């Protein structure tokens, strides 16, 4: 059932700003491959994020740091082939934009050229100002990401809630305003107090998408594999599971294995 206020045959960065103005919440999910991206797109999510969380959920790394630009492009181009309506945003992976703004621009151009995606996302505020400016000047839409920025996990030392202290909250608010002024079309806020997220969403005109940032923002994003219940291990407070695919898939695979071993699969109707 769709609760959309307006229909958007193709979601653009401008549609997202319009949605914020209309008070329509934005639905965003990650996807990394053609099949699941097609399902996410067909079921009406407004935005598909090809997140560097692929490093965790697809490749099995402990952090998002190891995934490469070429690996992100491989995932992104599969997603782009499936997305008929959703806006496709791709994470700039760790180490492809922090060194200097020229490298950041080269990385963003490579993503746009080789994957066909519509926008990039990168983590950080003030320290990434020049890179964001340069990418935007080249006509590439940029989404910011503040709060818990997983590429900085070794600086933080923990995946706990960020910006609980006043100094960090003040910096986050000022970074959010700077991202808006630079011309970013949106902002992800990850794992920060709901009150602070609300303050950010109310003080800037671009859409704020939350993950673990409460309900008073302009939209929500979750990692698809988490919300589908593919794993039982990851259980943060902010995660709502909409399915239990861990059980469904495990049961299907064990039934199949039993049928193969017993010789009941394939039967007469399942052969030529």
Shortest Å distance, C-beta 251 to ligand KIV: 27
| Residue numbers 164-203 binding ligand KIV by CB under 6 A | 188, 190
Q: Does 73 interact with ligand KIV (rule: CB under 6 A)?
A: no
Q: Binder to ligand KIV among 15, 53, 77, 96 (CB under 6 A)?
A: 53
Q: Does 91 interact with ligand KIV (rule: CB under 6 A)?
A: yes
d(CA 218, CA 228): 22
Q: Does 77 interact with ligand KIV (rule: CB under 6 A)?
A: no
Shortest Å distance, C-beta 154 to ligand KIV: 17
Q: Does 151 interact with ligand KIV (rule: CB under 6 A)?
A: no
Rg (CA), the chain: 20
| Residues in a beta bridge with 119 | 89
CA 107 to centroid of chain Cα atoms: 18
Shortest Å distance, C-beta 7 to ligand KIV: 26
Shortest Å distance, C-beta 210 to ligand KIV: 9
Q: Which of 133, 190, 268, 270 is catalytic?
A: 190
Q: Which of 86, 74, 82 is nearest to 38 (CA)?
A: 82
Judge whether 190 counts as a catalytic residue. yes
Q: Does 30 interact with ligand KIV (rule: CB under 6 A)?
A: yes
- Between 196 and 221, name the residue whose CB sits nearer to ligand KIV: 221
Q: Does 119 interact with ligand KIV (rule: CB under 6 A)?
A: no
- Between 90 and 105, name the residue whose CB sits nearer to ligand KIV: 90
Q: Does 47 interact with ligand KIV (rule: CB under 6 A)?
A: no
Q: Binder to ligand KIV among 108, 211, 217, 228 (CB under 6 A)?
A: 211
Shortest Å distance, C-beta 247 to ligand KIV: 23
Q: Does 221 interact with ligand KIV (rule: CB under 6 A)?
A: yes
Q: What is the DSSP string of the chain?
A: ----SS--SS--HHHHHHHHHHTPPEEEEE--SHHHHHHHHHTT-SEEEE-TTHHHHTT--SSSTT--HHHHHHHHHHHHHH-SSSEEEEEPPTTSSSS-HHHHHHHHHHHHHHH--SEEEEE-SGGGHHHHHHHHHTT--EEEEEES-GGGHHHH-S-SPP--SHHHHHHHHHHHHHHHHHT-SEEEEES--HHHHHHHHHH-SS-EEEESS-SSSSEEEE-HHHHTT--SS---TT---S--HHHHHHHHHHHHHHHHHHT-SS-GGG--
- Between 15 and 144, name the residue whose CB sits nearer to ligand KIV: 144
Size of the site for ligand KIV (CB under 6 A): 11
Residues in the site for ligand KIV, rule: CB under 6 A?
30, 49, 51-53, 91, 188, 190, 211, 221, 223
Active site residues: 190
């Amino acid at each position: 059932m769709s609760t959309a206020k307006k229909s958007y045959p193709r979601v653009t960065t401008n549609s997202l700003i319009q949605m914020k103005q209309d008070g329509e919440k934005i639905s965003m999910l990650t996807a990394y491959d053609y099949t699941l991206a097609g399902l996410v797109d067909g079921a009406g999510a407004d935005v598909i994020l090809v997140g560097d969380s692929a490093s965790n959920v697809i490749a099995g790394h402990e952090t998002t740091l190891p995934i490469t630009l070429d690996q992100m492009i491989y995932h992104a181009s599969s997603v782009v082939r499936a997305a008929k309506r959703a806006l496709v945003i791709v994470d700039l992976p760790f180490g492809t934009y922090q060194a200097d703004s020229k490298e950041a621009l080269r990385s963003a151009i490579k993503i746009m050229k080789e994957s066909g995606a519509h926008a990039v996302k990168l983590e950080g505020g003030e320290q990434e100002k020049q890179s964001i400016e340069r990418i935007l000047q080249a006509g590439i839409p940029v989404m910011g990401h503040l709060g818990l920025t997983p590429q900085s996990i070794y600086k933080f030392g923990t995946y706990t809630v960020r910006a609980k202290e006043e100094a960090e909250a003040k910096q986050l608010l000022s970074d959010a305003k700077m991202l808006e002024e630079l011309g970013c079309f949106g902002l992800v806020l990850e794992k920060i107090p709901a009150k602070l997220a609300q303050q950010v969403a109310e003080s800037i005109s671009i859409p704020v998408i939350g993950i673990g940032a409460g309900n008073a923002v302009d939209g929500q994003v979750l990692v698809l594999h988490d919300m589908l219940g593919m794993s039982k291990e990851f259980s943060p407070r902010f995660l709502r599971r909409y399915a239990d695919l861990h059980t469904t898939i495990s049961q299907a695979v064990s039934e199949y294995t039993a049928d193969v071993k017993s010789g009941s699969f394939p039967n007469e109707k399942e052969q030529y």
